Each structure stands twice: as C-alpha cells, then as structure tokens.
Amino acid sequence: MPKPVARDQRPTIQDVAALAGLSPSTVSRVLSGARPVGPDIAERVRQAADALSFRPNTVARSLRTQQTSTVGLVIPDIINPFFPLLVQAVERATREHDLSVLLVDCGNEPERETSALDLLLDRRVDAIFISPCHSTASAPALRSASRRARIVQIDRVADDQLPFAIVDQGHGIQLLLEHLTATGRQHIAFIGSDPSASTSSLRADAFERFSVAQNPRQSPRVMTGDFSGASSASITRSLLEQWPDTEAIVCANDVIAAGALLVARERRLEGLPGFAVTGFDNTMVAETGDLTSVQQPLSELANRAVDLFLGVAATEPPPLLPTLVVRGSTGPR
Amino acid sequence: MPKPVARDQRPTIQDVAALAGLSPSTVSRVLSGARPVGPDIAERVRQAADALSFRPNTVARSLRTQQTSTVGLVIPDIINPFFPLLVQAVERATREHDLSVLLVDCGNEPERETSALDLLLDRRVDAIFISPCHSTASAPALRSASRRARIVQIDRVADDQLPFAIVDQGHGIQLLLEHLTATGRQHIAFIGSDPSASTSSLRADAFERFSVAQNPRQSPRVMTGDFSGASSASITRSLLEQWPDTEAIVCANDVIAAGALLVARERRLEGLPGFAVTGFDNTMVAETGDLTSVQQPLSELANRAVDLFLGVAATEPPPLLPTLVVRGSTGPR
DNA sequence: CTGAAAGCGCTAACAC
DNA sequence: GTGTTAGCGCTTTCAG
C-alpha cells in the first residue's frame, strides 16, 4: 500500500498569512482572486507566498468547494488507435478550463466500466466523459451514475436520454462511397467490427443504406470481424472468395483496413489492379499504412463535450461532420 | 468555469452513524478496516451504509490521511503509438494497488512538462511517473519536483540520480541486427529519431556499436529523421541514393519503419528483392504494417515503476530485456 | 476592504 | 472494542 513517504512539510496558507502579517482569509482571496483586495496587501501576500514557495493544497480546496476540477474519462480500450486521439483531444479541451483528466481504460469490459464509474464518483470528479464500451450493457450503470455526477457520452452512446457529443458516422461512410464510385468502383464490400460499439453498428447500417441507394440491384456485401488485425486478413480472404468481383472494401476502422490491404497486396500479384481499401478514424495506422480514411473532428467533439458539461450547450446540437482523407489505398493503378 | 451543478446531497459517514446508532469513528473503522470491530456492529454498519447507498468521500479522506491514492503519469505524446501501450501497462499495474492515474500529455514540450509537474504536485499525487520528453531540458524540473513527491522515471530517463524503470534499448537493437545478419543481410543502415529522447539516442548508439562490431570494415550508415511518417519516406529515399547497396534498414521506431517500408515497396518494383525493414516498440503500427519489431516488456516495466514507488525495490535492478517479434518485413522473398 | 470563526467529510489520538 | 474530540488546509459566511 502507498505508505506515506516522509517528505518535507509544505507551507500552508496559514504560514503565508503569518509571514505577511495578515489573516488566512486575505491570503486566500488574493491567491484565488475571489474578491477585491488592496493592491499593497496583495503584493505583500504574493511576496510571502513565493518566499515560502507556497502552493495551495487542491485537496483541501476541493473538500471545501465541493469541486475537484477533474473530469473522469472512461474509454473502452486505449490500444484501439482511435482512443489515443480522443484522449488527446479531451485533454486539450479540458486543460483550457483548468480541468485535469483521471483516465480509466475498461478494456472493453462492461463490469470494469461500471466499477470505473464508481471509482470516479467516489473521487468526486466534476464530470465523467465516457465512451461506453457496449451499446446496451453500459446503459444501466451510466444511468445510475448520472444521478450523482454530470455524465457526458463522447463518441459512442449507450443511453440517448443522457447528454452526448457525437460525430455523424453515416456521413463518413457516405463520403467514402462517393469517393469510391467517383473513382470508378462498382462492386463495394464492407467489413464491420464488433457491433456492440454504437459507432460500429452505425457505420454498418450506413453502408447498407447508401450501398442500396447507389446500386439498388446489388445486395449489400457485408461481413463482420473482430478488432484484431489477424482476423481481418482471413475475413478479407473469404470475402474475396465469396464475391470475387469486388473492387473495393470499406472497413469499419483503420486496423481492419490494414489487414485487408495486406491481403489485397498479395492478390494484386495475382491480378487485381485498381483494387481499393478504406479505413475509418484516420489514426496513425491510416497514416503509416497509406490508407484512405475518415477523419473525425475531434477538437470540436471534445469541446462540445466540455460545453455540455459546463451547461453552455443545453440541448444536443446536430452531430459533427467528419471529413475524407484520401491516400494511396484508393489511388488508381 | 465548472459551476457546481446541483445534484442530490450524498450521505456522509455521520448519516450512516446516526442511522446505525453508532459513532462516526466506528463506521469509519468498519469501512476502512483500520481496526478490529465487533462482528454484529460491523454488520449493522454495513446495513446502514448500503441502505443509504453510502460511498466514502475520498477527497475528505485524502485531506485527512495525506494520501490521494493517485499517481500522476506524464508522457511526451500520446500520439506516438508507443505511449498508449505504456499508459495501459501503468494503468493495469497501479490498479492492482488501488491507485488511479492522472494523465498529462505534454506534447513534447518541456515547459508544459514542467507545469504538469506543478499541477500534479498541487494535487498531492502520491507519486509521479514520468517519461521525460527531453533528455536534458527535462532534468531541472524533475529534480525540483523530486523534493516534493516521489518521482519515478519510466521508459526514458533525464536524471540518472532519480529512480527509473527502463528497458535495455541496446539489447533490442542487437536482437534486430542478429536477426538481419542471420537472414543474410550484410549492408544495414539505421534511421534514428529525435535524439533528445533518451531511448532514441540509446538505440542509435547501440546501432553504431554493434554495426561496427559485426562489420568492422563498413562505417555505420546512419541518418536521422523526425517522428512523422512523411519525413521518414524522404529520408529513406536519400539513404538509398547515398548507399544503393543497402539491404536492410533498422528504424528507431515503428512509425519511421512504416514510412521506409512504403518506399521499399515502390523500389521493389525496380528490383530490390529481399530488402528488409525493421521497427521498434512493436506498436499497433508494427502489427498492421507486418513489421518485424522489438517488444518491450511493458507489464514488468510498469510493475517495476510501482515497486520503486512503494519502496519495495530500493535500488535500480538491471534494465529489463526486450524481445524480438519477427514479421513479414524481414521475410525472404 | 480585512479578520474571526466555522466547517467541508473524514480519520487518528486519546479516553473510557 | 467503542465513543469523543480535534484537525487535515482551505474557503466562506458573517462582522466590523
């Protein structure tokens, strides 16, 4: 257990007050700028404060003010390369409001997600930003946590009665399909990922919708894999066996796309010129793998989550729109 | 500013005590298991506690005990795909000791790193785990923070007088070179990354050392790029121009390797059979890019950091050894 | 504009 | 084994 490592005692606001010959309240007011204070007095306080190199104890402050200036961020899996991007965006957005981030990765397990919520509530975070790992299993815990702290769903949603900040997944798929047909691909297939993530199922739904709309005579070519790169390769192989005339594969995320691209590359040797593969999320994997992908507006997403928390944005505005990033994986050959 | 959203009042330990007809201290003792308590009494407390669905306020507890059960984790850049792996490992290791993680990403800027340390100290974290973004610029802030809290450097080090948990970078390079020569590559080049990260310079140094040892007549072929994928492609091109008979490129990380591999793939069309590229860190990028890479033992690394913090490991044990992960990028053609 | 005093919710001495 | 009391370090009424 974290034993209390004996460090040098740190000065308190009382010490500063004593040194400056003033009362603790005055010192507090100067340091937090809560109320007007005589300029000369303010100066004396500041002198004393940094003579002692005083730093306020935020734990005590939190107890008194009932605010921790902390948001909990619960994510499904930091290894999924989308989430580092989200974490970064949330970190930036919250930093601007002097909020810190307490991060919990639930490893895609709803039970751990539930205990993460409890943990964060016990720590009295001001808000919890959560990307629910499961579209149904996550809902009850969310609902109950929402009675104790402000909950904002970010990116994924499990309970549409609770606040959320999201990106229009369908629009992303639409951009991809338009790009692919504009570059001459007719027979387009889709490899989905675990549909228990709300974003995954929205992407799959959108594919079916737009696919039917663009090409009514062809029934949607859809397969579903799990998140690992290895599985996506084998799924790609069976997909190409089942529909050998496929000219493009839209994948539910960049990792799956990378696996598909590996297979496509093998096959190109056997004659599949102009074959295209697309990813989703525009992660580092898309960058390094030269994958066409869809970029979500993450700063805006994070800002919106913060606004929702602050009560600046009262109702849910329409979802944010993602953009297309074209790279070599959909280039002509 | 985070305004105090009015939520329902949460019960305190006093409420539980009142309901159970006992004193607050007794309740506290039962809930924290600090001291022996009559079994019947304990039961009464538990009943009352979950009748009110009481949850202890950890902020108050922290103020009283002077421990926050929190570690700060400061990383250079979460977009660098190595760091999500590190964050995950630290999260796991700390969770086992009921510690939470306050994450700060300093975006490779030493000044932000410094303010991150202040922030975490103000929050009275029990320890700070840090992967210093700069091998020299990070040192002073680290040193001064170490007077106020336990600092443990993890993965990278800026001040070798302060505790650190590290992996033997040189051994990783050695494994790669042995593998490459064993598979018949003679002329091997290296593309390094920003040497201000301690790990980067250690990898570069090791390359030069082992390269000279293995092939004394050939002077080391070394170039240095920055972290972006785009730059690594152009560096690879100039490298291949300068040393056209190069058969393998060892890269300081997976991202650079992915860029190099793209170029190698173009060139293969122009006749470079059996060309090999290797990465480092075995990130998602290596997985998706079919890159041979070096895997660092991250769980052990994180555990060691925790042990160092707890004082279980007093002195620095020898660095941990990484392992080789062979994939297609070094396969025969 | 400044000071005195109370109290956030918990735990740790100290009594009994 | 249990209760009483004080206090962690800060902010905030309330007086002046």
Average pLDDT over residues B44-56: 94
Minimum CA–C1' distance nucleotide for B57: C9
Tell me, what's the pLDDT at B4? Answer: 38
Tell me, what's the pLDDT at A6? Answer: 42
Sheet order of strands, A188-192 included: A221-224, A188-192, A248-251, A276-278
Chain C bases near protein CB atoms (7 A cut-off):
1-13
Residue of B4, B5, B122 lying closest to A58 (CB–CB): B122
All structural domains of chain B with their residue ranges:
13-56, 69-165, 169-297+323-330
Q: Which of A54-68, A224-238, B55-69, B273-287 is least confident?
A: A224-238
Tell me, what's the pLDDT at A270? Answer: 57
CATH number of A69-165, picked from 3.40.50.300, 1.10.3720.10, 3.30.390.50, 3.40.50.2300: 3.40.50.2300
Q: What is the pTM of this model?
A: 0.95
Tell me, what's the pLDDT at B82? Answer: 97
Q: Which of A220-224, A233-237, B254-258, B266-270 is least confident?
A: B266-270
Task: Suggest the residue from A12, A59, A117, A265 to mutate for an interface test with chain B (most B CBs closer than 10 A).
Answer: A59
Fold (CATH) for A169-297+323-330: Rossmann fold (3.40.50)
Does the distance separating the beta carbons of B10 and A289 come in below 8 Å? no
Residues 275-294 of A with CB under 7 A from strand D: none
Tell me: pLDDT of B5 over 50. Answer: no
Q: Residue B265: pLDDT band by 50, 70, 90 thresholds?
A: confident
Tell me: pLDDT of B180 over 50. Answer: yes
pLDDT per residue over A45-83, tens digit each? 999 999 999 999 999 999 999 999 999 999 999 999 999
Q: Which of A8-17, A295-304, B102-111 is least confident?
A: A8-17
What is the C-alpha separation between A44 and A159, in angstroms, rounded?
A: 53
Tokens at B318, concatenated? 């020898």
pLDDT per residue over A245-275, tens digit each? 999 999 999 999 999 999 988 876 555 568 8
Residue of B78, B102, B119 lying closest to A102 (CB–CB): B102
B69-165 and B169-297+323-330 share one fold: yes
Protein residue ranges contacting nucleic strand C, Cβ under 7 Å? A 22-26, 29, 35-38, 40-41, 60, 63-64, 66; B 10, 12-14, 24-25, 28, 31-32, 34, 54, 56-57, 60-61, 63-65
pLDDT per residue over A279-324, tens digit each? 999 999 999 999 999 999 999 999 999 999 998 877 778 999 999 9
Average pLDDT over residues A174-195: 93
Q: Is the CB of B7 under 7 A from strand D?
A: no
pLDDT per residue over B11-41, tens digit each? 999 999 999 999 999 999 999 888 888 888 9
Minimum CA–C1' distance nucleotide for B61: C10
Tell me, what's the pLDDT at B272? Answer: 56
Tell me, what's the pLDDT at A303? Answer: 97
Tell me, what's the pLDDT at A171? Answer: 97
Does the distance separating the beta carbons of A103 and B103 come in below 8 Å? yes
Tell me, what's the pLDDT at A7? Answer: 45
Tell me, what's the pLDDT at B301? Answer: 97
pLDDT per residue over B107-140, tens digit each? 999 999 999 999 999 999 999 999 999 999 999 9
Neighboring chain A residues of B289 at a CB cutoff of 8 Å: 258, 288-289
Q: Which residue has the tokens 């796991």?
A: B92
Q: Is the CB of A29 under 7 A from strand D?
A: yes
Average model confidence (pLDDT) for chain A? Answer: 91
Neighboring chain A residues of B56 at a CB cutoff of 8 Å: 122
pLDDT per residue over A98-115, tens digit each? 999 999 999 999 999 999
Q: Residue B229: pLDDT band by 50, 70, 90 thresholds?
A: low
In angstroms, what CA-CA distances link A50 with A45, A59, B268?
9, 20, 64
